[in-house]
Structure 1
Amino acid sequence: MLQRPQRGDPFWIWMLHWWDVMSWTITGLLAVITVVGDTPGTAKYGSLALLTLLGTCYGVVRRRPGNPVRGAYSYLALLVLILGGLAYLREGFGVLYTLTLPQFVIFANSLRSAIVYSGLGAVAITVGGSLREGWNTDVLTTNTISSLAVYAVSILIAVLTPRALGLRDERAQLRAELKSTQLSLAEAHRLQGAAEERERLAREIHDTLAQGFASIVALAEAARSGLETDTEKSAQQLRSIEQTARENLAEARVLVGSAPQSGVAPGSAARTLRRTLDRFAEDTGFTVTADLPDIECDQQTRIALLRCTQESLANIRKHAAASAVDVVLAQQAFGIELEIIDDGRGFVVEESQGFGLNGMRKRLAELGGELTVTSSVGDGTRVLAMIPTNGQV
């Protein structure tokens, strides 16, 4: 059964819909004219009864919750009989056959059924009109020709409608697939965004809180072992623990959104790195040599340089067994370079799966930069971070 057309349906479907609406509008007007006109009693009340029966059955079958196919064909059979009866009772009411042509498509579930029932409607109005006018060859011939012309239109409607319905269904399927794709894409973007945010938070926690706690543990162990032999150094280490804990607290507030986003105080890159290196030398006793010119860079670049330095120093403290560290910050034509070299035991770079190195690479990649790690067992390690400036990549 043809449903109410939706936005985007073919023109033919909309035309059938409005044709059907128009047919009931005209049918209503004919009923009003019949009521107020001077139609003879039998024709008047008979035609009103048939029109009322037709409208009632139409409304019932369109909303019938039972078997829609059987109800539709029952309605079509009734429609054929009512058309014949109206053509017999009233002159000019045969036009209702033309008006009701869409109904033979609306209520039929196949092309064959639509053509057969529409043909029966043509026969009904031909017979009804001929009986009303007096049955003779001339009247029958005239009515037959007129009915056949309208029947030809009904066949055209029945043939074209399935094609329009197929196009409508195809468009509806495409719209459904497009909507499904859009929903899937939106979900994929949401999941990707959530994954990227988790990765960013994991990197920030590793580069700030985790490194800070590792430093606190190392300092606490050193302070405890020197409490009886070197109280002054232990006191200094306790102060470092306090300072590191305060910094971790500040970083934690940043991560939960209650402090400025960067978590790094404003200042030049050289001064920021110098403070970090001084703390490292004080806490570890390593010899730290630094060449840190005061270069110009934005806040994101300065944070990236600081995080790379913190991660490199943490790796040197935990893994390198080094005694000296050299740090060089340089402004090159293509960007900013940060080089960190230790004299430790080195490692095989290809075998390293550490989160820290991967985190540095991703952090630099977000700024268009790159990380180069050079090392071999027994020869120390060289970490080179490059960040392009002035839009260079």
Structure 2
Amino acid sequence: MQLKQKIVALAILPLLLAIAAIGVLVQAQALRLGEQQQRLIENSIIASKRAELRNYVELGLSAIAPLYASGRDDPVTQQQVLAILLGLDYGNDGYFFVYDDQGRSLMHPRQPELVGRNLLTMADPERVQAIQALLHSAQRGDGFQRYQWQKPSTGLATEKLAYVVMLDRWGWMLGTGLYLDDVEQATRQARSELAANIRRTLWGLAGVALVAVLLVFAGGMTLNLSEQRLADRKLQLLAQRVVSSQEEERSRVSRELHDGISQLLVSVKFRLELACHELEAGSRQALGTLRDGLARLGGAISEVRRISHDLRPSLLDTIGLPAAIGQLAAEFERRSGLAVEYRQRLESAHLPDTEAVALFRIVQEALANVERHARASGVSILLEQRGATVQLGVVDDGIGFDVERTEQARCGGIGLRNMRERVEHLGGRFRLSSAPGRTELMVTLPLAG
């Protein structure tokens, strides 16, 4: 993956993960709330059915109260009571039933085939012995019991809630019940609505994620194009600076060769030609002229060495950085007439060739700037080791300058900006401060190993 693709991926993946996590949390919370809603709906319906069953049973008891309260326990009275209860129907599936305390069916309006049978051990599809459970509930006094029973309107086993009471004097259990398929239908509808809401929420999150991804992608592409154009401009400027630096260095070498070496060699040539003419003429001045030509030839050789030294400081390879800077400072002092104080405490630190050349060039450029612009009377150079770093400081007492404006204005040569970039490229720190009477350049580079 390219860098821009990694950046876009790092921007999109956390967003997608966050939206996915939000979706999971929303789904879990919705399911939990849905379960609570289902329980509330079911409890509400069950509570209303309990109240309704109590009312039905009280209605049945009030219908048979005159006969039951008469104190007659003969079969005729009991048959009259059963007949009254047999006619108390409500709705398609609402009826009363009567069992004795042994589990024998005494009256069942919807399933007359059960009358006279002992159903105490009969179990529903869930293995619940319904009649036995109803008897126990009636005898305890709570009266309510849930079980499955055949629904008359459909003929299917359906969950039912019954409420029963005991007619203690006769040993009868009287009760009625309501089927709970409407509860199941209500909870099923609630689950369906919940699932639909969850789907809509997840689709909404997916839409938000898609829009966010598109925005991030569009922003990333826009930023990438902008950064690419900026990088191209910087690359063009850098290429121009490299070309300008090369041309300036070539121009400097060309000027020094033409104005220095070439003039010296032409002068040597003239002195040697003059010496030849004087020798042919037998003049006694020929030897002096020849010696003067040799002296000028020595000057040309020294100038060649100086130019070579400027192109590549060979002193670094022979005597090391501290001594090379010391010799550079001594030559600068002789040439410029400025007082130079040089101190070094580099100990046994090892500097790679790249760092040593960089520090030497920085000192060289700094001294050249002092000579050309500072109008100083003295320069101080300090080279020392501090912990895992090597520090170089160059301080002069010149007139000072505006650092920011000067760095922005200088585009060619090594210059202040090139010195800063050279140091930062090596992982170091470059600091330059200037005021009238004191200009300080400080460079810090990490030591190898």
TM-score bin, normalised by smaller chain? 0.3 to 0.5
Q: Which has the larger radius of gyration?
A: 2
TM-score, scaled relative to structure 2 = 0.34
Q: Which structure is higher in strand share?
A: 2
Q: Which structure is higher in helix share?
A: 1
